[in-house]
Structure 1
Amino acid sequence: MKPVVGVMQAWSCIVISVFAVIILSIIGALFKSNNHALLGGKEDPDDGAAVAATVFSAVVVYAVFIVGCGFQAYLHFRDNRRGAISLS
């Protein structure tokens, strides 16, 4: 199987997705615990658990991106090891 995206795009996707999973997990945990900093104002949402569920669904989407981009990076690594790309 050949990679669909370039090696730089695959690794960029992995790094950005890992960062997003970490940040969104922290934000989701704060909403789930009804943190006053996020839910204390007049215009803030009332149901922190519902907001947390939405944020955690975004974490799942980014986790799928990590798997997909990781597979693309693996395909590049495998092709380089077999000598598919060689410099003359």
Structure 2
Amino acid sequence: MKPVVGATQAWSCVVISAFAIVILSILGALYKTGHHEFAGGAEDPDNGAELAGTIFVAVIVYAAFLVFCGLQGMLHLRENRRGAIQL
């Protein structure tokens, strides 16, 4: 099987996805618990749980990116071990 994306793009995607998962998970947890910095004032609507759900969907999307790009990077490593020439 041949990689779809380049090695640099695959490993960059892995790093960016890992950071995004960590940061968005923290933000989602803060919205879900109703942290006072994110909940707003008394007149603001209480929709922290809905926002947290949307953020966690984004975490799932980034996890899929992490898996796909990680597999692409591993394909590049496997191809390099075989002595393939990169153009």
TM-score, normalised on structure 1?
0.90
RMSD of aligned residue pairs (Cα, Å): 1.6
- Name 2:8's counterpart in structure 1: 8
Q: Equivalences for 1:1-88 in 2 at 5 Å?
A: 1-41=1-41, 45-85=45-85
Q: Deviations over 1:2-24 (max 9, x none)?
A: 11111000000000000000000
TM-score, normalised on structure 2?
0.91
Structure 1 gaps, min length 5? none
Inter-partner Cα distance in structure 1 for 2:56 and 2:45? 16
Inter-partner Cα distance in structure 2 for 1:48 and 1:54? 10
Corresponding pairs, count: 86
Inter-partner Cα distance in structure 2 for 1:50 and 1:6? 37
Inter-partner Cα distance in structure 1 for 2:85 and 2:36? 55
Q: Which runs of 4+ in 1 moved over 4 A?
A: 42-45
Alpha-carbon spacing, 1:54–1:45, altered in 2? closer, same or farther (3 Å) = farther
Q: Deviations over 1:33-81 (max 9, x none)?
A: 0011001236855221111010000000000000000010010000001
Inter-partner Cα distance in structure 2 for 1:44 and 1:20? 27
Structure 2 gaps, min length 5? none
